[in-house]
Structure 1
Amino acid sequence: MHVDPSIHTIDTAFQRDDFDAAYLIVENGRAAFIDCGTGLAVPAMLAALTRAGCTPEQVEWLILTHVHLDHAGGAGLLMQQLPNATLVVHPRGAPHMVDPTRLIAGATEVYGEAEIARSYGPILAVAADRVVIAEDGHTVDLAGRPLLCIDTPGHARHHLCVWDARSRSWFTGDTFGLSYRELDSAQGAFIVPTSSPVQFDPEPLKQSIAKMLAYDPQAMYLTHYGRVAPPQKLAADLVEQIDAMVEIGRQCDGRPDRHRCLVAALTALYLERAQAHGCPLDDEAVTRVLAMDIELNAQGLACWLDRDRR
């Protein structure tokens, strides 16, 4: 399948290699970033520009799928290096880019102060006059190449995905799940939904996936990690697992050891599917690759259960 050479995958080096991607699209000498990783990723973003034959002055857009720190934590620092760029963000995410105080506080509550300092680097504000709010259907014009932003809740209420008609591809942030290359098999990519705290909502997530499939895409560009295809098969895998995760949540809810129950059941679900997929790693290695995501998915399921009960 043809891979568009104007799309560049950038490893932001968050946590480990091949875990957290941002993207650079170059069109007629103009450039757009989609997501940017943490503040520690700014050198990698600028180096990617150089490799693509571009300068910071040629970047017109930084489009954020959502404002979780592994996607957007470095936006303020990166925008300082991009004198002609405008930041594009979901209406619910825009206030957190202009004033990241609550974003930092929320992330600190989930991850702890030490982890924020170690993994995320400086989290800076973006000037309000450099921010464009992308309502559902907003189109960014990159030198005549339209990049369509659509509202895609489910992972987060402030999530958008970006449709590039030129490559017939979506830039999916976390709405289309996680897929790590070391879990690939002869059957292709192995994919897992992400329900990380605090706004997971299964039905809107399935609706967002269906909305993307309606464009008949050829590929999906995931933050975690890289380009995957075919979208139709992967979407079916995601929907099956979202339903299974909801059932796991219901079964574990009300137990005094709910978190332990969620972690154990999610681990069993993903291992069973990895074995059926023919993943080349043994169970211990698969669990190690997915450990952080299993923990966050358990936390996200718990947040959803508590919110649903209210």
Structure 2
Amino acid sequence: MSDAHGIVTIDTGFQRPHFDAAYLIVENGRGAFVDCGTQHSIPAMLAALQSQRLSPADVDWLILTHVHLDHAGGAGALMRVLPNATLAVHPRGAPHMIDPEKLVAGATAVYGEEEIARSYGEIAPVPAERVRVVEDGDTIDLAGRTLLCIDTPGHARHHLCVWDERSRSWFTGDTFGLSYREFDNAAGEPFVIPTTSPVQFEPEPLKASIAAMLARNPDAMRLTHYGRVGDVVRLARDLVEQIDAMVALVRQAQGEADRHQWLVAALGELYISRAKAHGCTLSPDETRALLAIDIELNAQGLEIWLARQKHAERPVQVG
């Protein structure tokens, strides 16, 4: 069911319920998807259309916040069944949608072919003529409803966020972190943690991207992981505090014998303590279990970022 602003939150079914969301925006009988999950998510996307009495031919846009596979893996396959849609994507992400060979190779190297097929299905190309590159500040027209796209690096350099003035909300992809509903406190208030990426995490750009979104005084953020959250000023403050704490931990980890495992444990303790302070009733073991994948990815992202920083600071040898 859509909310008062014609926005449907779609559970893509990736990994577990209420883990990975896509969105359908409906305006004057036309639709736009924001992110799409994997090929396995297509039935849920089409069911969302049906719930709004729309057909695949009524979709004008598939907007990708970025091209990580839990957000965009099913884009090529979905576009095949959306005959009138244009794919809108960041300039750095467009080449990977037109030719996903590098995306597939990178993911296969990490997870293996069997796991890629199980979790993501086919990662199909999108014809170049159906792709619109969206620059910082560009707008998308959905049947008279203007959607503003801004460049939001920090989680990834090919990340954009989408502002919808009608609902006064941002579609944030991963820039505004992760807020799983299991961590809401008794008052229904959300908990949030930042999410890095294994190769492109940049803490200062991420904090700047968060500030840029706050500048519009949004009523809500619509996260991929997971759903609509309010109380955005508090959550933004929490994210910035945690980004700084995470950077401090990865620097401290360099003095440890097993740096990676030390960092994984330290990040777990950071999130557990903050969840408890928030009023989350999950046990420490339950918190670790729900965040296990995210903790591992955050540790990898932090370590790669620090290695890149050290390389940049290395003095140049002359002669």
When normalised by structure 1's length, the TM-score is 0.98
The answer (yes or no) to whether the contact 2:183–2:190 under 8 Å persists in 1 is yes
3-state SS, counterpart of residue 132 of structure 2: strand
Aligned to 1:169: 169
User: What letter is aligned with 2:299?
Assistant: A
Aligned to 2:303: 302
Instruction: Mark the runs of 5 or more structure 2 residues left unpaired by the alignment.
Output: 312-319
Cα distance, 1:232 vs structure 2: 0.7
3-state SS, counterpart of residue 243 of structure 1: helix
Q: Give distance in 2, aligned partners of 1:252 and 1:259.
A: 8
Aligned to 2:317: none
Cα distance, 1:138 vs structure 2: 0.8
Aligned to 1:65: 65
Cα distance, 1:110 vs structure 2: 2.8
Q: Give distance in 2, aligned partners of 1:303 and 1:4.
A: 42
1:116-167 C-alpha deviation (Å, 9 max, x unpaired): 1210000000000000000000100001100000000000000000000000
The answer (yes or no) to whether the contact 1:90–1:158 under 8 Å persists in 2 is yes
The answer (yes or no) to whether the contact 1:27–1:143 under 8 Å persists in 2 is yes
Q: Between the two proteins, what is the percent identity of the paired residues? A: 69
Cα distance, 1:254 vs structure 2: 5.1
Aligned to 1:238: 239
User: What letter is aligned with 1:12?
Assistant: T
Q: How many residues align?
A: 309
Q: Give distance in 2, aligned partners of 1:11 and 1:86.
A: 22
The answer (yes or no) to whether the contact 2:38–2:75 under 8 Å persists in 1 is yes
Aligned to 2:117: 117
Equivalent runs, 1:40-59 vs 2, <5 Å: 40-59=40-59
Cα distance, 1:307 vs structure 2: 1.2
User: What letter is aligned with 2:19?
Assistant: F
The answer (yes or no) to whether the contact 1:146–1:164 under 8 Å persists in 2 is yes
Aligned to 2:225: 224
Equivalent runs, 1:193-272 vs 2, <5 Å: 193-253=194-254, 255-272=256-273
Aligned to 1:154: 154
The answer (yes or no) to whether the contact 1:253–1:305 under 8 Å persists in 2 is no
Q: Give distance in 2, aligned partners of 1:17 and 1:50.
A: 20
Aligned to 2:27: 27
3-state SS, counterpart of residue 107 of structure 1: helix
Cα distance, 1:252 vs structure 2: 0.6
Instruction: Mark the runs of 5 or more structure 1 residues left unpaired by the alignment.
Output: none
User: What letter is aligned with 1:96?
Assistant: H
The answer (yes or no) to whether the contact 2:5–2:166 under 8 Å persists in 1 is no
The answer (yes or no) to whether the contact 1:20–1:224 under 8 Å persists in 2 is yes
The answer (yes or no) to whether the contact 1:65–1:173 under 8 Å persists in 2 is yes
Cα distance, 1:305 vs structure 2: 1.2
The answer (yes or no) to whether the contact 1:32–1:61 under 8 Å persists in 2 is yes
User: What letter is aligned with 1:281?
Assistant: L
The answer (yes or no) to whether the contact 1:220–1:229 under 8 Å persists in 2 is yes
1:13-63 C-alpha deviation (Å, 9 max, x unpaired): 000000000000000000000000011101111111001111000000000
Q: Give distance in 1, aligned partners of 2:258 and 2:112.
A: 22
The answer (yes or no) to whether the contact 1:196–1:298 under 8 Å persists in 2 is no
Cα distance, 1:9 vs structure 2: 0.3
Cα distance, 1:269 vs structure 2: 0.1
1:241-271 C-alpha deviation (Å, 9 max, x unpaired): 0000000010012544111011000000000
3-state SS, counterpart of residue 172 of structure 2: strand
User: What letter is aligned with 1:195?
Assistant: T
Aligned to 1:279: 280
Aligned to 1:88: 88
Aligned to 2:314: none
The answer (yes or no) to whether the contact 2:5–2:167 under 8 Å persists in 1 is no
Cα distance, 1:112 vs structure 2: 2.9
User: What letter is aligned with 2:70?
Assistant: D
Cα distance, 1:226 vs structure 2: 0.2
Is 65-74 or 286-295 further displaced after alignment? 286-295
Cα distance, 1:230 vs structure 2: 1.2
User: What letter is aligned with 1:276?
Assistant: A
Aligned to 1:11: 11
User: What letter is aligned with 1:243?
Assistant: D
Q: Give distance in 2, aligned partners of 1:108 and 1:203.
A: 30
1:84-141 C-alpha deviation (Å, 9 max, x unpaired): 0000000000000000000111122233333212100000000000000000001000
Q: Give distance in 1, aligned partners of 2:102 and 2:5.
A: 38
1:188-215 C-alpha deviation (Å, 9 max, x unpaired): 1010000121100000000000000000
Root mean square deviation, CA, Å:
1.2
